[in-house]
Amino acid sequence: MIIDVHGHVTAPPEVYGHQARLLADRGCFGRPTLKLTDDRVRQVVQPHLEAIDEVGIELQLISPRPYIMAHAQTPHKIVQWFTEEVNNLIARHVEMYPDRFQGVAGLPQGPDVEPAKWLPELERCVTELGFVGALVNPDPAEGMGHVPPMGDRYWYPLYEKLVELDCPILLHSSGCNNGRESYSNHFITEGSIALLSLIESDVLADFPELKIISGHGGGSVPYQIGRWRATRVRYEPKRESFDDSLRRFWFDTALYNVESVEFLLRMVGADRCLLATEIPGTGSERDPATGFWYDDVKRLIDSIGWLTDGDRDLVYERNALEVFPRLAARLGATKAGDPGV
């Protein structure tokens, strides 16, 4: 099975209108009702299904679109309400198309809201809605303030609950409101900060069962690996190599050019990479030179000559079954990563 671990929900305009109302009145008149018929949901999902069909994706894990989550908005109750509505919409996608989608939860994060307060929605999504993972924004302040980096103990209540639920996370920044960075620039930067902070921390020593996927190929980290190798040798020569530390994490392949995808596979290994396209998303444009979609990442991986069939099997399926135990159980896997699955 070809499994894409990084997709986002397709929502009708009514969902964004609902959010606009929340932002306009800041919840002063209570929580508004969002009503969508099944026919309306199917109508907007059909182009999404056609898009993943075209590039050979059989099953996609979908989460909220990060740029609309507005984690830094106030009062926090409007973030909470909108997050719940989007997670409910994801659950409807999965219920309607269980063979094509599985859910990844958005969290009601906020710069002034302790991680412990995000946990009820995480638990609801996993235990009640059946989601297989969670999306985590390393910078819920959205470029406008200071939130401790992800190696800080500030994040430990979240990590404890993730381990309890056996729930992996995909790191993916959200919006940016500081006027200095574009959205894409911000999430690459914040992804890099998060990954480096985690690498230099005790998080995986304290939570050895925690599974963390670094979205969009690890930000800048694998592609600047020489700098981090030298820094490790200079300041911590008795620690394991930087490469070994890097390989304690997982990486998705939503990169959109074959050179970067190939470099990532060489640096961290096919056994630590998971197919990701983010369709429909940033890469959903056709390359004028080739006519292919930029986010047809499977085509890029298929074109890398030195990869073996076993390598591709890891990237397309087996690693996802290892990282997402609920997904493996749902697909009937007797053992995560079993080549016979």
Residues in CB range of 226: below 8 A, 6 or more apart: none
Question: Does the CA dihedral 14-15-19-22 come out positive or negative?
Answer: positive
Q: Quick one: which of 291, 297, 282 has its CA closest to 252?
A: 297
Query: What does the alpha-carbon distance between residue 50 and residue 78 come to, in Å, rounded to a whole number?
Result: 33
Question: Does the CA dihedral 153-154-157-159 come out positive or negative?
Answer: negative
- Backbone φ and ψ of 6, nearest 5°: -140, 85
Annotated catalytic residue, options 121, 200, 278, 317: 278
Q: Quick one: which of 133, 58, 63 has its CA closest to 100?
A: 58
HSE (CB half, 13 Å, CA atoms) of 194?
28
Q: Which helix (H) or strand (E) holds 126?
A: none
Question: Does the CA dihedral 187-296-293-284 come out positive or negative?
Answer: negative
Active site residue 114: no
Q: Which residues are catalytic?
A: 278
